[in-house]
């Protein structure tokens, strides 16, 4: 008797589940698209607001947003790609673009341009940054460049009067000394950037080479690495950069950088991060260029900070492209997005945004204007394995920072490792 009742109960429950599942299907909107991006709290807030706006304007389309930090973004993306379950629209980075296109994970956008994707009047250079083998696989949703963020109060107090757009590494070192001396060592001149391959890349280009040549070989030399690490070792010895304990913690969040904590007066970032850094810094920040080599070539460059791409697994391309088009053209949407992902590459949108900009947004636009003629060309996309080379740079560099190995040995072993990593990745 008890058994019967239990079985009956189970049966009823199962039927209930089945029924609710059936009811659930037609309740879904006609079309659903998934948008996946890496973010931070500020970016997520803005993006979800955009999704709301878009859904109100397009009742037939439901957009589901998926967001995660940069650190886990590519892991999740690779897993979803392997499982043939990519989001319809994915945020893409210049570093990974070629890799994903070559693996066949993205769809070209050319057939939609001028029909449902109105980007004909966008800046040509930045748009072409999303081309692979002549086809457009990625839509630029913001441009950025390297920036040396500085604390304006500390700079003023220490009397640093260098021209922060045209300054040299020598000026930079002197500024570090001045700042540390003025504060009695409490505020160091800058973060120790010896582990940042992004800064090293500028260093190499200033010496007249690219990090990777056109064949994907490592073109940076042992001497490039050794002089770079020696430059920072000298500053470390003078005790005018951040302590080594904080330096060997890799890829710290913005809020733990020297400038946010107040340990140092300068940290290195990408220009679209200015808004985020100001949000976590007590003092007003300023934007300087990566220092130049006296008599050298331009090292810094302007790059697409982020792209939006159409994935191979897209279900309804028409709706996905409609969303993409609204992202870069709809005035209400571009207003919400602002400059958070980088400077928009449409002059029309930039003009629309200009009157309503906040102080830090103005800073980033002005910085962008100031550097236009000081930067070099966009380097070729890095070969497969470049992400791992970045890790190796930090790892070998850590040994130098901790004085466990000599600069010369470390530089030689890094160049060997880098080429081996690239060879293995092909």
Residue numbers at the binding site for other proteins (CB under 8 A): 71, 74-75, 78-79, 81-82, 100, 103-105, 243-246, 248-251, 385, 387-388, 391, 394-395, 398-399, 402, 404, 425
- Output the smallest distance, CB 75 to other proteins, in A: 4
**CB closer to other proteins out of 243 and 419:** 243
- Output the smallest distance, CB 24 to other proteins, in A: 26
**CB closer to other proteins out of 104 and 355:** 104
**CB closer to other proteins out of 133 and 245:** 245
- Output the smallest distance, CB 303 to other proteins, in A: 22
- Residues in the chain, total: 426
**CB closer to other proteins out of 263 and 361:** 263
- Output the smallest distance, CB 68 to other proteins, in A: 13
**CB closer to other proteins out of 81 and 202:** 81
**CB closer to other proteins out of 96 and 122:** 96
**CB closer to other proteins out of 49 and 248:** 248
**CB closer to other proteins out of 298 and 381:** 381
- Output the smallest distance, CB 261 to other proteins, in A: 10
* Angle, helix 169-182 to helix 222-237, in steps of 10 degrees: 20
Cα distance between the two ends of the chain: 68
CA distance 129 to 132: 8
**CB closer to other proteins out of 56 and 404:** 404
- Output the smallest distance, CB 5 to other proteins, in A: 24
- Output the smallest distance, CB 351 to other proteins, in A: 40
- Output the smallest distance, CB 406 to other proteins, in A: 15
* Token code pair at residue 404: 């466990």
HEC profile of the chain: CHHHHHHHHHHHHHHHHHHHHHHHHHHCCCEEEEEEEECCHHHHHHHHHHHHHHHHHCCCEEEEEEEECHHHHHHHHHHHHHCCCCCCEEEECHHHHHHHHHCCCEECCHHHECCCECCCCCCHHHHHCCEECCEECCEECCEEEEEEEEEHHHHHHHCCCCCCCCCEHHHHHHHHHHHHHHCCCCCECECCHHHCHHHHHHHHHHCCCCCECCCCCECCCHHHHHHHHHHHHHHHHCCCECCHHHHCCCCCCHHHCHHHHCCECEEEEEHHHHHHHHHHCCCCEEEECCCECCCCCCCCEEEECCEEEEECCCCCHHHHHHHHHHHHHCHHHHHHHCCCCCECCCHHHHHHHHHHCCHHHHHHHHHHHHHCCCCECCCCCCCCCHHHHHHHHHHHHHHHHCCCCCHHHHHHHHHHHHHHHHHHHC
- Output the smallest distance, CB 401 to other proteins, in A: 9
């Amino acid at each position: 008797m008890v058994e019967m009742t239990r079985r009956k109960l189970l049966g009823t429950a199962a039927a209930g589940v089945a029924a609710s599942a059936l009811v659930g299907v037609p309740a879904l909107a006609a079309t659903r698209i998934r948008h996946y991006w890496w973010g931070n709290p500020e970016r997520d807030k803005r993006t979800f607001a955009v999704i709301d706006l878009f859904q109100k304007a397009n009742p037939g389309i439901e957009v589901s947003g998926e967001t995660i930090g940069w650190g886990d973004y590519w892991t999740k993306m690779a897993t979803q790609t392997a499982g043939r379950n990519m989001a319809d629209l994915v945020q893409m980075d210049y570093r990974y673009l070629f890799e994903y296109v070559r693996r066949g994970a993205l769809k070209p956008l050319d057939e939609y341009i001028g029909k449902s994707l109105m980007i004909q009047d966008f800046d040509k250079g930045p748009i072409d940054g999303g081309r692979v083998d002549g086809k457009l696989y990625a839509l630029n949703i913001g441009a950025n460049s390297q920036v040396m963020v500085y604390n304006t109060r500390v700079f003023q107090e220490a009397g640093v009067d260098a021209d922060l757009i045209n300054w040299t590494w020598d000026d930079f070192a002197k500024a570090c000394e001045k700042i540390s001396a003025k504060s009695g060592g409490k505020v160091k001149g800058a973060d120790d950037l010896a582990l940042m391959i992004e800064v090293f890349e500028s260093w190499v280009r200033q010496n007249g080479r690219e990090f990777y040549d056109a064949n994907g070989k490592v073109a940076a030399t042992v001497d490039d690495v050794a002089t770079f690490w020696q430059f920072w070792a000298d500053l470390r010895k003078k005790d005018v950069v951040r302590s080594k304990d904080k330096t060997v913690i890799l890829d710290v969040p913005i809020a733990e950088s020297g400038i946010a904590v107040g340990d140092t007066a300068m940290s290195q970032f990408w220009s679209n991060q200015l808004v985020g850094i100001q949000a976590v810094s007590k003092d007003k920040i300023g934007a300087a260029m990566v220092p130049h080599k006296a008599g050298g070539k331009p090292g810094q460059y302007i790059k697409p900070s982020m792209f939006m791409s159409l994935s191979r697994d897209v279900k309804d391309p028409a709706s996905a492209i409609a969303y993409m088009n609204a992202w870069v053209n709809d005035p209400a949407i571009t207003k919400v997005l602002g400059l958070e992902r980088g400077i928009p590459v449409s002059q029309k949108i930039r003009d629309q945004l200009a009157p309503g900009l906040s102080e830090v947004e103005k800073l980033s636009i002005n910085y962008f204007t100031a550097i236009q003629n000081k930067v070099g060309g966009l380097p070729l996309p890095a070969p497969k394995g470049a992400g791992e080379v970045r890790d190796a740079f930090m790892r070998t560099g850590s040994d130098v920072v901790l004085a466990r190995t000599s600069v010369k040995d470390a530089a030689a072993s890094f160049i060997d490792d880098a080429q081996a990593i690239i060879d293995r990745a092909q």
